[in-house]
Structures are given as C-alpha cells and as structure tokens.
Amino acid sequence: MENVKTVAWFSVPLALGIALMHNALVVSIVVAVVAYYATYRFIPLVGEVFIKHGRFGKDQLKHNTPIIAESMGLIAGCVYLAAMFLFIPVPFVPFFRDLQNPDGRLSGLHFLGLPTFPHDTLGQYLAGLLTLFSMLFLGFVDDVVDIRWRVKIWMPLFACIPLLMVYMVTYNVTHMVVPVPLRGFLYYAYMAALCIFATNAINIIAGMNGVEGVQCLVIGSALLLNSLYQIFTTQYQTTKEAHSISVYFLMPFLGVTIGYLRHNWYPARCFGGDTYVYFAGMTFAVVGILGRFTKTVVLFMFPQVFNFLYSCPQLFGFVECPRHRMPQLNTNTGLIEPTRVNLENTRTIGLTMIRILEFLQLADVKRDTNNKMISCNNLTLINLLLVKFGPTSEENATLRIGATQAG
C-alpha cells in the first residue's frame, strides 16, 4: 500500500509534465524518474517471490555465500517496457494538437493539406521495443533453463529482425529508393553483428556485484549526453529526430539501471542475471541503429571491445578456458584477487599469444625454474585491473571498471 501511495505521488509531476509542457523531453525525464523509483521499490518485493520459487543464486565473493534473488533484470526490463508503452504516444502529441488547429504547420508532416501521421517513426519505436522485448524474453528463458552457449550467442540475430526490417523500409527505401545490393547487405550484416556483439559484450565483463550495472550506466550516460549535444547543436531536422528517439529510449533505461544498481551494488541484495545484461546490451544496439550512430556506440563500448579481443585466446580455445573466469575472494585478507589459468598443457600457438600479451605487459605469467610458463591470469579486463593495481575490495574493483569505462 505504501508503494502504491508513493507511486501515485510520483504520477502527479508526470501528469503535470504532460499537461503543461507538451514537451516530450520533459515527459521522458519524468518517466525515467518514475521508472527508477518503480524498479527500486519492486525489486525487493519480487525478489522474495523469486527466492521462494527457487530463482536465486549464491554470492561466491562473500564469506558466507548468501542466497540472493536472480534474474532481477526482469523487473528492470518490465518496468522499462511498461514505461515505454505508456510513453509511446507522447512524441506524437504535436501531431494531434496540429489536427485540431489546421492553420499550424508541422515540418514534413503535411501532405496535400491533410497532415499525415508519421507512421514510419511509430514503426521505429515499435520495432525497437519488439527487439528489446525479444531479448529480455530470451535472457529470462536462458536464466531459467540455461541455453547452450553455442545457441545463445546467436539469439540476438533472431531478436533484431524487426529492427532491421524497419530500418530497411524507413531509411533505405525513402532515402536511396534503389539500394546498392552489396553495400546494403554488408551494412545489414554489420548492424546484426553489432546486436550480437553488444548483447554478449556486457555479459563477459560480469561476476562482481554491480559490475554489469556500472558499465551500462556509464555507456548509457555517455550516449545520452552525446545525443542531447547533437539535438541542441545540429541544424538538420532528421539528425535531431533520430537523436530524439535515442534520448527517449535511453532516459528510462538509465532510470531502471540506477534503480537496479542500488540493489545490485556491493554488498548485492539482487542479481541481474542474463536477463539484465542481454536487455541492456540490446538497448545500446537499438539506440545506435535507430539514432544512426552505431560507430559511436562501438566507440563508447571500447572496454568491452578490448575485453573481447583480450579474451579471444581463451574463448577460441587456444588457451584453456574454465567455466568461470571471475576473480576470487581471499578469505584471509577479505580482498578480491585475480584467478589464474594453468598453461602446462597449452600448445605452442597459445603460449605464443601469452608471450605477446606478456611483452605488451597485458599478462602476469608465472614460470618454473626451467623458465617454462606455468600459469597466467585469466584473460579478462577485471583480472587485468586486479593484476595491475593489486588485490582490492570488491567494491573498489567494480569502481575501477566504472572508471575504466568512463576514461
């Protein structure tokens, strides 16, 4: 009851925003605040239910490995989608206002005197949400039944079909009329690859309290600031519109991320699960594609790109790859330490890779008395930071990732 009351209170500024401003940006900010608050309040409530139904994990980096609700990205995702569903009509308010004052003019919407509803823009929203929903859904299914690694890496390909379809009919058809077949095809392949990369990239820097959320917070904020900057400086209407869509998608995303992060921060009282990382990763891909700044997205995800490249020797089997490569807790010091991988059975090609990384000062290798390589740190960004800056508390390790992302 308490929650319902507070949510009701929050809806007052929402209503005010819609009624007084008719300004989609203001409404978006209000929606983001409500989404933050709803996520923050719902997670503990639903968490209990999830634990009761066996949807929990154990926190491996704590002394007593406490039981913690899993898949809480579901709450973040559901609140986000509910917020977006309610937000959909808002950017179209000027169109309806215009209908009633036919002397008003709306750039690009009037056609033969009768205003034409911007069905293409609405289609972009719907396709973006459909893609996000698919990914949230697949993430949750993965959490519940553990889809095999080889299958799930391709899931974003399936989820991004509606998005690419709408992209094709909105930009290609309208702007180029006859698309260049080969270049066109390569560009779609590139966008599909971005979706696959973005969804999986967040997932491989994970395993510490708050580490997924803090990455997403930094990337999302950077993309939001970039879009806001573009909106207020560009003189092209199409650029402005594309970046507006990006803002409308990112604002509530940051809201739910902060709400989630407050529970997932050290010491965590909830886990996001694959549900959260897939959903968040796909949000960046969707925003990049609809806002037409995919290169910026890749740029802002540089730590993820680095982590992926750095992990390649293990991911592609040149060096042994244990199921979990996250750091471990030293129960004596209470600090987090990097984990290591055994190199004794590694073949020459893998050893050469490690030697190159060592030369670049990117690997901490231990040798026996014969100068034979015995082990090195697991090749993830988290472990590398622990090697470079020494063991630390879990909270500090997460902050380091956040700082790297910001830097």
- Of 92 and 306, nearer to a second copy (C-beta) is 92
Q: Which is closer to a second copy, CB of 50 or CB of 248?
A: 50
Of 84 and 258, CB closest to a second copy: 84
| Omega cis (within 30) before 267 | yes
Q: Using the minimum distance from each CB to a second copy, give the nearer residue, 181 or 407.
A: 181
Amino acid occupying residue 289: I
Complex with a second copy: residue 51 or 321, whichever CB lies closer? 51
Q: Which is nearer to a second copy, 120 or 358 (CB)?
A: 120
By CB under 8 A, name the binding residues for a second copy.
46, 49-50, 53-55, 74, 81-82, 85-86, 88-89, 92, 99-100, 111, 114, 117, 119-120, 122-123, 126-127, 129-130, 133-134, 136-137, 140-141, 144-146, 158, 161-162, 165-166, 169-170, 173-174, 177-178
Half-sphere exposure (CA, 13 Å, Cβ side) for 127?
24
Tell the smallest beta-carbon distance from residue 47 to a second copy (Å): 11
Closest CB 156 distance from a second copy, rounded Å:
13
Handedness of CA 26, 78, 93, 3 (dihedral sign): negative
Smallest gap from residue 330 Cβ to a second copy (A): 33
Cβ proximity to a second copy, 157 vs 312, nearer residue:
157
Minimum distance, C-beta of residue 122 to a second copy, in the bound complex (Å) = 5
**Smaller CB distance to a second copy: residue 13 or 179?**
179
Pick between residue 20 and residue 114 the one whose CB is nearest to a second copy.
114
Which residue's structure tokens are 């690009």?
A: 108
| Min dist. Cβ of residue 89 to a second copy (A) | 6
Of 85 and 316, the one with the shorter C-beta distance to a second copy is 85
At closest approach, how far in Å is the CB of 114 from a second copy? 8
Q: How far is the CB of 165 from a second copy (least distance, A)?
A: 6
Q: How far apart are CA 367 and CA 362, in angstroms?
A: 16
272: Cα separation from own chain's centroid: 12
Report in angstroms how near the CB of residue 311 gets to a second copy at its nearest: 27
Nearer to a second copy, 111 or 359 (CB): 111
Take residue 67 and report the two structure tokens written for it. Answer: 């039981």
Task: For the CB of residue 37, give the shortest distance to a second copy in the complex, in Å.
Answer: 18
SS3 of the chain: the string is: CHHHHHHHHHHHHHHHHHHHHCCHHHHHHHHHHHHHHHHHHHHHHHHHHHHHCCCEEECCCCCCCCEEECCCHHHHHHHHHHHHHHHCCHHHHHHHHHHHCCCCCCCCCEECCEECCCHHHHHHHHHHHHHHHHHHHHHHHHHHHCCCHHHHCCHHHHHCHHHHHHHHHHHHHHHHCCCCHHHHHHHHHHHHHHHHHHHHHHHHCCCCCCHHHHHHHHHHHHHHHHHHHHHHHCCCHHHHHHHHHHHHHHHHHHHHHHHHHHHHCCCCCECCHHHHHHHHHHHHHHHHHHCCCHHHHHHHCHHHHHHHHHHHHHHCCCCCCCCCCCCEEECCCCEEECCEEECCCCCHHHHHHHHHHHHCCCCCEEECCCCCEEEEECCCHHHHHHHHHCCECHHHHHHHHHHHHHC
The CA distance from 1 to 325, in Å, is 43
Minimum Å gap between C-beta 97 and a second copy is: 13
The token pair at 242 is 């594309």
Q: How far is the CB of 35 from a second copy (least distance, A)?
A: 14
